[in-house]
Amino acid sequence: MRLALTLTILLTVCFPARVSADDRGQFARWSKIELSFAGPDSQGRGEPNPFSVQFDVQFISPGGVQFQVPGFYDGDGQRGLNGDVWKVRFSADELGAWEFKTNSDNRILDEITGRFVVTKTPDTAHGFWKWGRLDSVGTAENRIRYLKFRDGPYFLKAGCDDPENFLGRYEHYNTLAKRKAAVDYLAQRGINSCYIMTHNIGGDDKDVWPWLGRTQQKAMSNGAGDPRFDVAKLDEWRELFEHMQTRGVVPYLVLEDDSAWKDYDHDRYYREIIARFGYLPALMFNCGEEHNENYRLRQALQFMSQLQQIDPYDHPRGIHNINRPNVDYVDASQIDFTSIQTGSPGSRSGLSAAMEHNQIALDWISLCQKRGRRVLVANFDEGRPEHDRRAWWGAYVGGGVWEAHVLPEYDRPMSAWETIWNELGGARAFMETLPFAQMHPQNNLVTEGQAVCLARIGEAYACYLPVGGRIQVQLAAGADYDVAWWNPGNDFHGSLTTKSTCRGGTQWFEAPTSGDWALRIVKRN
C-alpha cells in the first residue's frame, strides 16, 4: 500500500496533470493565429536535436471540422537559435469558438489544450487577409479553370518569374527592405504573383536554402538525415511573405531548383515550410523547376502527394515543366495547375511563336475535359518569346494565365523590365473588366480576319488582334452590345477607348490604329 502511494506521488511529480484549457483570446478570420509553447530548453546545434521533436496541433472548428497542423521549433522565439519556444501558426476559416490540442513525443509539449474565438474579418484588413484563402475550385462539372479567393474574386495571375533567387545574394534583392521595395514596385503595376525559389543548392544560383549553414556544404549536412533549420532566415522570409499578402502579391514557392541537390529529407522540408508559412491565405507551391532533371514524373507526383498530406489548407500545387498535354498529369488529383515553359531562353521570336501559347492553353483545357477531370489552371511560367506581349495576350485569351520570364542580367532593379510589368499588368486589368472565369475559348467565333477569342456567348466576348486590322465576329443575336478597345501598350491603370454599340449577329470590327489591339464586347444592361 505504501509502495503504491509512493509511486503515485512520483508519477504526479514527474508527469504533472495537464492544467485546464487556457483561453488564447480572439483572432480575426483569416488572420495569423500564432500560439507559442514552452518546451525543453534546447540548443539549435546541440543534442538532442530540437528540430526532431514531433509537434503537431489539432484545431477543431465550431462546426467540428479538424485541422492537423505541424508545429515547429523556433529557438528563443526572437530569431535566436537556442531556446525553449515551439510555435504553431494557423488561419481559421470559421467564426466562433475553436479548440486546440497539442500532440508531441515530448511530454512537456504533449496534450496541451486551449481555446480561442474567431471574429469576422475587419474592414481594415488589406489584400489577401481580407479575401481569404486562395483555393482550387474547379470541377469537371463547373469547368472553372481559375483559382479563387474564398471571400474574394477569381485570381487572374500576372506574375514575375525573375530573379528566381529572389531570396538570394543579388545586390538589388539581398536585404528584407530591398525585397519589400521590389514587391511594392510590382504591386503598383498590377503584378500579383512572384516566383520564388526556396532551395537551389547545386542549382542555378546556389544561394537559397532553409537549412542551417552559411555554405552549401554546411546546409547539405543539415538538410539530410536529421535536419536543422535556420530560424532567423525563415522568420525573415515570413516577414516578407506577410508583406506580400498585404500588397496583393502571391508567394509562388518553387521548392527545388533544376538539377539541385535532391538528397534532403523531403518530408521534413515540406513540414517546415507548411508549419511556418501554411497559414498565409494566398500561397502556391511548385514541386520544382524542370523536375525532369532530377525526377521522373511519377516521383514528382508522389512528392506533391506528400505535400498534400502535410498541408491542412490544401494550397494549390503544380510541377514544372510538363509542357504539352499529359494524361498522367491531368489525372493526378494532387495537381491544380500547369507550369509550362516554351523553349530555351532567348530562343524564340515572331508572331507564330508568341501566338502558340493560345493553342497550348486550348490543348490542355481540351484534354482535361476529354478526361472528365477538373480543368487545370493553364499556367505559363517560362513563356517565350519572353518580352513579346503577344505571347501573354494569346495565353490570356486562350483561358490561361502568365508568369513573365524576363531576360538577364537579373541583378538589376525591377525597373529594368518596366515595360513588361506595365504591359502585363495592363493585360490583367483588361481581363478583369470581364467575367473571365465564366468565359471559354471560342476562336471559331472569329469568322474573318486574324484574332483569338474568349467568350461567354451572348454575354461577353474578348478578342485579341495580334496584327490589328479588321475582324468579323459572330455574336449571339437578339441583344445589343457595348464595344470598346484596349491598347495593349496600356499599363494597369489604363482605360478602354473608342467606345460604341452594336447589334447581335455577324459584325465587323476594325482596330483603331495599326498594331495589336484587344476588343471587348459585352451585353448591354
Tell whether 263 is covered by a domain: yes
**Cell numbers 534546447 label which residue?**
42
- Look up residue 455 and give its amino acid: A
Q: Is the pLDDT of residue 16 over 80?
A: no
Per-residue confidence (pLDDT) for residue 21, from 0 to 100: 66
- pLDDT of amino acid 349: 97
Residue 525: per-residue pLDDT: 87
* Residue appearing with cell numbers 517560362: 382
Residue 6 has pLDDT above 60, yes or no: no
In a domain? residue 11:
no
User: For residue 192, how far is the Cα from the chain centroid?
Assistant: 10
Confidence check: pLDDT of 448 > 90: yes
Closest listed residue to residue 88, CA positions, set 247, 265, 264, 275: 275
Share of the chain above pLDDT 70, in %: 96
Q: Quick check: is 239 in a domain?
A: yes
Tell me the C-alpha distance between 37 and 40, whole Å: 10
Give the position of cell 506533391: 304
Considering the domain architecture, whether residues 381 and 233 belong to the same structural domain is answered as: yes
Q: Is residue 383 part of a domain?
A: yes
**Binning pLDDT at 50, 70 and 90, where does residue 15 land?**
very low
Query: What is the average pLDDT score of the chain?
Result: 95
* Confidence at residue 4, expressed as pLDDT on a 0 to 100 scale: 36
Q: What percent of the chain has pLDDT over 90?
A: 95
Q: Are residues 74 and 222 in the same domain?
A: no
Answer yes or no: is 3 within a domain: no
Is there a single domain that holds both residue 54 and residue 199? no
Tell me if 422 is assigned to some domain: yes
In angstroms, rounded to a whole number, what is the distance separating the alpha carbons of residues 101 and 97?
A: 14
Domain boundary residue among 61, 95, 119? Answer: 119
How much is the average pLDDT of 371-387? 97
**CB of 376 closer than 8 Å to CB of 368:** yes
Tell me the mean pLDDT in the region 485-507.
98
Is it the case that residue 421 has pLDDT exceeding 50?
A: yes
Considering the domain architecture, whether residues 337 and 228 belong to the same structural domain is answered as: yes
CB 84 within 8 Å of CB 41:
yes
- What does the pLDDT look like over 97-138, one tens digit per residue? 999 999 999 999 999 999 999 999 999 999 999 999 999 999
Based on the fold, state whether residues 291 and 420 are members of the same structural domain: yes
Name the domain count of the chain: 3
What integer is the mean pLDDT of 225-240?
A: 97
- Domain boundary pick from 73, 93, 119: 119
Q: How far apart are CA 396 and CA 383, in angstroms?
A: 12
- Centre a 10 Å sphere on the Cβ of residue 514 and count the other Cβ atoms it contains: 9
Q: Can you tell me the mean pLDDT for 499-506? A: 98
State pLDDT tens for residues 458-472: 999 999 999 999 999
What is the pLDDT averaged over residues 415-438?
A: 98
Q: Residue 452's domain is classified under what CATH number?
A: 2.60.40
Structural domain for 486, as ranges: 438-523
Residues 281 and 365 in one domain: yes
- Per-residue pLDDT of 44-87, as tens digits, reads 999 999 999 999 999 999 999 999 999 999 999 999 999 999 99
Confirm whether 468 is domain-assigned. Answer: yes
